[in-house]
């Protein structure tokens, strides 16, 4: 039986994004929401809505019993987790499947493997992906750490196996500071993730962050949908993403894309995934894999013309991917700005009432946002309130269009990062595509 009703286990712009794909497929939607989100756009638009708890995410969007109960009450036949929240929780995926509800995502086993970074690196190496040189597994003691670091050369990076969002990472400049910094990384990892397992990697001085979008049908077929350059980061959080990467040639894309697609075919991966690499001096180094839809997926949709949520639903229905690798086209240039309800200089959160709202439009402009005039941005969740994505025949045209779209965008009430993006895209180095993962932090410090 094909999926006819999907419960969307998320909120904000991504809940709306999934709803839109469902409606276009004639699939009914069930929104779940906390009491803080009763007036949310996805709640208003969904066919049904169920309140799953109070504002704290731990008691609503992260509550497995509440979400499963909602799915049973609504008789949803599938769950789409969006990104964040429970999207990479293997235990949740298992419980969904145990309830005979279709999980729109990879197998729980693959989620679990890729969620443990040490295990992910082992798997990636076995699948033929190039790694950052480092420890072959966890590093338990400072003596072991010193040995690994001496082999790969300083500086090294101590990273938490259960890490996320850049937490539990320490750069170690020399042998003298290794023991104390490794101790700090372990303590931070224990506090943040309840797991003090760490591993060591060579610290790359000035890389770019380039990731490949992949898709598998779970039957041993997989394609890559090209790369996204996500080097513009603040505190390891992506700020602006673009494709194609200004640093990559078509030949490099095809070569590395094939390596990724072959790896995913070999593991019979199901659904959407992103393989993240650092890229320096023409070399790729695997850092992690995300087993879900990414925030920045629209950039890929603009270039390829594919609807990634629709593909996810196809694959969950047991259908093949709608394209073969030969049929995937990469055309033009796309850029996404993440717009947050934050002060554009201090980055202090700025939730509250949206008094006016006017989204930009026109040719090749896409806004993924759940905002509307009169909406009150709750203070409990992520500060991402909108994604502005533009497309152009080439990078120059995309940048011109982005500037005019940012200029048109009116969000009255909260402070937003729109002015930050406006300043950023005027910078000559950015315009030249000449930036690494260090660039934005330096640029912000110089402002
Ligand atoms: P998380 O899951 O915490 O986001 P990642 O492994 O994806 O951890 O790393 C987050 C960011 O940290 C990367 O995008 C990059 O900016 C930086 N980083 C990670 N590994 C290295 C490394 N070996 N050398 C230099 N920078 C790194």
288 lines ligand 1 (CB under 6 A): yes
Mean pLDDT of 181-194: 93
Q: In 378-442, where do the E strands start and end?
A: 384-392, 410-411
Residue from 160, 230, 287, 294 whose mutation best tests the ligand 1 pocket (most atoms within 8 A of CB) = 287
Strand ordering across the sheet containing 156-160: 170-172, 156-160, 198-202
Residue from 88, 239, 278, 290 whose mutation best tests the ligand 1 pocket (most atoms within 8 A of CB) = 278
Residue from 135, 152, 236 whose mutation best tests the ligand 1 pocket (most atoms within 8 A of CB) = 236
From residue 231, alpha-carbon distances to 239, 278, 355, 374, 403 in Å are 9, 9, 33, 35, 20
Residue-level pLDDT at 437: 97
Residue from 166, 203, 207, 231 whose mutation best tests the ligand 1 pocket (most atoms within 8 A of CB) = 166
Residue-level pLDDT at 42: 97
How many angstroms is it from 209 CA to the middle of ligand 1?
Answer: 9
Q: From the candidates 292, 338, 395, 401, which is the catalytic residue?
A: 292
Mean pLDDT of 407-430: 98
Domain residue limits, the chain: 5-104, 133-202, 208-446
How many angstroms is it from 1 CA to the middle of ligand 1?
Answer: 42
**Is the CATH number 3.30.470.20 carried by domain 208-446?**
yes
The 10s digit of each residue's pLDDT in 58-102 is 999 999 999 999 999 999 999 999 999 999 999 999 999 999 999
What is the architecture of the domain spanning 5-104? 3-Layer(aba) Sandwich (3.40)
Residue-level pLDDT at 168: 82
433 lines ligand 1 (CB under 6 A): no
Residue-level pLDDT at 423: 98
Catalytic residue flag (residue 292): yes
pLDDT exceeds cutoff 90 at 376 = yes
Residue-level pLDDT at 24: 98
Cβ within 8 Å of residue 141, ≥6 positions away: none
Query: Strand, helix or coil at 238?
Result: strand
Residue-level pLDDT at 165: 76
Mean pLDDT of 247-273: 97
Q: Domain 133-202's class?
A: alpha beta
Residue-level pLDDT at 164: 81
Mean pLDDT of 232-238: 94
Which tokens is 415 given?
A: 């402070």
199 lines ligand 1 (CB under 6 A): no
Kindly state the percentage of the chain with pLDDT values over 70.
100
Residue-level pLDDT at 417: 98
How many angstroms is it from 311 CA to the middle of ligand 1?
Answer: 29
Greater confidence (339 vs 194) lies with 339
Mean pLDDT of 303-318: 98
164 lines ligand 1 (CB under 6 A): yes
166 lines ligand 1 (CB under 6 A): yes
204 lines ligand 1 (CB under 6 A): yes
Q: pTM of the entire structure?
A: 0.96
ipTM: 0.96
Closest C-alpha residue for ligand 1 atom 17:
236
201 lines ligand 1 (CB under 6 A): yes
How many angstroms is it from 127 CA to the middle of ligand 1?
Answer: 21
pLDDT exceeds cutoff 80 at 318 = yes
Mean pLDDT of 123-134: 96
Question: For residues 40 and 46, is the Cβ–Cβ distance under 8 A?
Answer: no
Residue-level pLDDT at 346: 96
Which tokens is 117 given?
A: 């970074």
Mean pLDDT of 278-288: 96
Give the Cα separation of 196 and 161 in Å (integer): 8
How many angstroms is it from 132 CA to the middle of ligand 1?
Answer: 11
Residue-level pLDDT at 239: 98
Mean pLDDT of 438-442: 97
How many angstroms is it from 236 CA to the middle of ligand 1?
Answer: 7
The 10s digit of each residue's pLDDT in 133-178 is 999 999 999 999 999 999 999 999 999 998 887 788 999 999 999 9
Residue-level pLDDT at 8: 98
pLDDT exceeds cutoff 90 at 300 = yes
- Banded pLDDT at 1 (limits 50, 70, 90): confident
Residue-level pLDDT at 268: 98
Question: For residues 156 and 148, is the Cβ–Cβ distance under 8 A?
Answer: yes
- Banded pLDDT at 275 (limits 50, 70, 90): very high
Residue-level pLDDT at 131: 96
Closest C-alpha residue for ligand 1 atom 20:
287
């Amino acid at each position: 039986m094909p999926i006819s009703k999907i419960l969307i286990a998320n909120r904000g712009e991504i809940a709306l994004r999934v709803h839109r794909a469902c409606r276009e497929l004639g699939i009914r939607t069930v929104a779940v929401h906390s009491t803080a989100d009763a007036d949310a756009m996805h709640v208003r638009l969904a066919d049904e809505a169920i309140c799953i708890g109070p504002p704290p995410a731990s008691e609503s969007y992260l509550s497995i019993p509440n979400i499963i109960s909602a799915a049973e009450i609504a008789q949803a036949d599938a769950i789409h987790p969006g990104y964040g929240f429970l999207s990479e929780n293997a235990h949740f995926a298992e419980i969904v499947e145990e309830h005979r509800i279709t999980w729109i995502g990879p197998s729980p086993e693959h989620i679990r493997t890729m969620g443990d970074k040490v295990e992910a690196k082992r798997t990636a190496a076995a699948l033929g992906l190039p790694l950052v040189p480092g420890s072959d597994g966890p590093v338990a003691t400072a003596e072991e750490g010193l040995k690994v670091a001496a082999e790969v050369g300083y500086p090294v990076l101590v990273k938490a196996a259960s890490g996320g969002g850049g937490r539990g990472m320490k750069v170690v400049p020399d042998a003298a500071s290794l023991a104390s910094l490794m101790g700090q990384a372990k303590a931070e990892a224990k506090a943040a993730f309840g797991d003090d397992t760490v591993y060591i990697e060579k610290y790359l001085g000035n890389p770019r962050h380039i990731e490949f979008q992949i898709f598998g049908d779970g039957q041993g077929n997989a394609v890559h949908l090209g790369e996204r350059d996500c080097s513009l980061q603040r505190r390891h959080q992506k700020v602006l993403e673009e494709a194609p990467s200004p640093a990559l040639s078509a030949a490099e894309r095809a070569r590395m894309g094939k390596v990724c697609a072959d790896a995913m075919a070999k593991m019979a991966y199901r659904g959407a995934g992103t393989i993240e690499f650092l890229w320096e001096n023409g070399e790729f180094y695997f850092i992690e894999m995300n087993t879900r839809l990414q925030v920045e997926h629209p950039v890929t949709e603009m270039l390829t013309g594919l609807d990634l949520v629709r593909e996810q639903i196809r694959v969950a229905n047991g259908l093949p991917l709608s394209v073969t690798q030969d049929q995937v086209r990469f055309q033009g240039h796309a850029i996404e700005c993440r717009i947050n309800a934050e002060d554009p200089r201090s980055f202090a959160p700025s939730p509250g009432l949206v008094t006016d709202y006017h989204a930009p439009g026109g040719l090749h402009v896409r806004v993924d946002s759940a905002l509307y005039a009169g909406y009150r941005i709750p203070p409990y969740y992520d500060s991402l309130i909108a994604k502005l994505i533009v497309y152009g025949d080439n990078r120059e045209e995309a940048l011109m269009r982005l500037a005019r779209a940012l200029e048109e965008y009116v969000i009255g009430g909260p402070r937003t990062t729109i002015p930050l993006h406006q300043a950023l895209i005027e910078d000559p180095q950015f315009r030249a595509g000449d930036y690494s993962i260090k660039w934005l932090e330096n640029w912000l410090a110089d402002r």
